[in-house]
A and B are shown apart, each in its own frame.
Chain A
């Protein structure tokens, strides 16, 4: 498979003039925004926006895994899909191997597609029931001419073996398989194109514990053998801790914290991260952790609170949090966080100025509240 990788890379030479990106990082996300318009029933006017992803930035190193965690509805999956341009971003830029994705035409994007793949959450609905397994895995291989025609059959068998699927499954249909086997087929489908980057959108959430372990081990082994870069989206924090090198925490469309896995689990900075991690159930009856129980539920992303989005549920909420949006800053080396608790003196001054301004404008203190 290794020589094939070179072919696909030659097909898409990195664009010139984008040299400051790429290099050490395979994927760089800058201020990515995705809003979904809310249309009125009358005249189809846009009356508001659901801010699914509201300005996130991070970089993923080659051959590493980034975990993306957060509650449901915080925009993790939308972020993953927008990064691959499966959804058109509203603004912001994604650099894939130094190339800005938003500037690419359809043809150029199509050439790049084999290099970035996605594994979806639900293995029951993401496989076509009408295609045999060999065709599901091989369709894109043929379409993108990854291998010459005479090697095609061999190649599919090799891919299937790498994912722990016996060759004779080729002619079977998805309904004959259990959830774990189906997820292997989904992984094989992504793997067959020799990608560099795979977005795993909750690949193990729908599976049983023992099957989960098999799939996680498979993903890790494939990464070791082929050097893939993963974006691992999940709400299961223990799985994320196991598989990731870096972890990003999202809340209501914004990234609140991003750093190495060990750092974020040993001393989280943002109060939301702290609360989230304290809620992880530990399989040991003697461990009585001090749970920080968050009050209420996620506010509506169509009408997020003013200032820091988390202030309505935050234990350490200060006056300034209600008015000024915290800046995304590198608090410690390689440790980004967006929280007023870690403001530098200049930022503090700026935030207080913003607060005065907002107060003068008469934005109500509470901001828009959730309905309950």
Chain B
């Protein structure tokens, strides 16, 4: 692979080599996963901090594609505390959606694999599951019940051939098999009421195409919250909606979160939405976390040049600038990531240290952590995100 590092051209020989390698590695990983599934001791662990709902510990999710290994998520570290909202921000392709899909085990297998790290999910009774190794049968009990997801496009994520009532009923029935049909329907209607649908009996009998985008997103929220999950993953919940509807949906989510004592992992590229909703913010770039902290840390004292650039490139109502800042260059090729800081080639604030390896995480304050050499002297150095060497697999 190394001969053609700087071009996208792949010869037939190389292509065959890649395919063979991918097949070998994915088969091995699948076998390992199957073996781990039979032994609960392999996938049960304990949380580092029992007040967290989820802890991502050096998670590496790679895609074994025909062009080589794409390191979509490469050593991501952060946690979601109980009853709080964590916003994950970044441009498209930075790995924020893949992070959430890894947590749900919804990756496109076998090409997409979580090859390293731990995702610890708190079960609430002192134990935790390591989602990476949890077998599918156990995952099915968690998905929709303890962790649920609201997808980006309400237009395409509802099944067009089933009635709304049916689709909400299904979730409740699946996770509560002992419930009678009447109870299930009552619970569905209660959920529809909760998400602010006025004509709930009517909507129960409707098909998705009869509803507007905002209404469909409400149904998605109703489905996600039907089993009172401890964690709600909202993957760009308002991107496809208008500003006025966006305000309604965000308001609703915030209200329901407090009512159900859940946590929200809010994935978005809109800094405005994050500022209004999130308690903690995680900024991702090219598969790695570049900065994390409380909303106050990130918005009032942004440190990483990427975070600063991102904030300056978005026009803000009431703040007059002649020209918007635009980050020069583009994201590096995901197949051949450099070993130095991924942002160095686009950064205007480089220093001598930047020539070295990828910067370690630096702890500026108790809550604020940044990966940038500019702050090397200002805080405690925590260590680099660990990448998995695919050749060793």
Contacts and interface: CB of A to CB of B under 8 A. Distances in A.
Interface of A: 71-72, 178, 208-214, 216-217, 220, 235, 237-239, 241-243, 265, 275-287, 291, 293-294, 297-298, 371-372
Contacts of A276: 243-244
Given A210-B327, A294-B244, A283 B272 contact: yes
Interface of B: 91-92, 197-199, 202-203, 210-212, 214-215, 242-248, 251, 269-276, 278, 295-296, 299-300, 309-311, 313-318, 321, 323-327, 330
B247 A241 contact: no
B324 A216 contact: yes
A136 B209 CA distance: 37
B330 to A, nearest CB: 7
B216 to A, nearest CB: 11
Nearest to B198: A372
Q: Identify the 7 closest CB pairs spanning chains A and B, nearest first.
A: A281-B272, A242-B315, A213-B313, A279-B247, A213-B326, A285-B295, A213-B324
10 contacts: A209-B313, A210-B310, A217-B326, A238-B315, A283-B299, A285-B275, A285-B276, A285-B299, A297-B212, A372-B211
B272 A216 contact: no
Given A235-B243, A237-B243, A282 B269 contact: no
A222 to B, nearest CB: 13
A273 B246 CA distance: 16
A216 B299 contact: no
A280 B295 CA distance: 18
B242 A71 contact: yes
Contacts of B199: 372
Contact of B326 (A214, A275, A277, A283): A214
Contacts of B309: 210
Given A213-B325, A238-B314, A297-B214, A208 B269 contact: yes
Contacts of A265: 317-318
B91 A209 contact: yes
A282 B326 contact: no
Contacts of B314: 209, 212-213, 238, 283
A74 B113 CA distance: 44
A309 to B, nearest CB: 15
A209 B306 CA distance: 12
Contact of B203 (A208, A209, A372): A372
Contacts of B278: 285
Given A208-B92, A238-B314, A293-B248, A281 B323 contact: no
Given A282-B317, A294-B248, A235 B242 contact: yes
Contacts of B251: 291, 293
Given A71-B244, A210-B326, A284-B275, 14 more contacts: A210-B309, A213-B313, A213-B325, A238-B317, A241-B317, A242-B315, A275-B244, A279-B243, A279-B247, A281-B273, A283-B299, A293-B244, A294-B244, A372-B212
A220 B323 contact: yes
Contacts of B91: 208-210
Nearest to B278: A285
A283 B323 contact: no
B275 A280 contact: no
Nearest to A235: B242
A283 B243 contact: no
Contact of B316 (A217, A238, A278, A293): A238
Contacts of B202: 372
Nearest to A272: B244
A242 B296 contact: no
Contact of A72 (B242, B296, B326): B242
A281 B247 CA distance: 8
Contacts of A214: 326
Contact of B275 (A208, A211, A281, A291): A281
Contacts of A284: 275, 299
B171 to A, nearest CB: 22
B368 to A, nearest CB: 14
B68 to A, nearest CB: 19
Given A283-B299, A372-B199, A297 B245 contact: yes
B275 A212 contact: no
Contacts of B212: 297-298, 372
A216 B323 CA distance: 9
Given A178-B330, A285-B296, A372-B199, A280 B269 contact: no
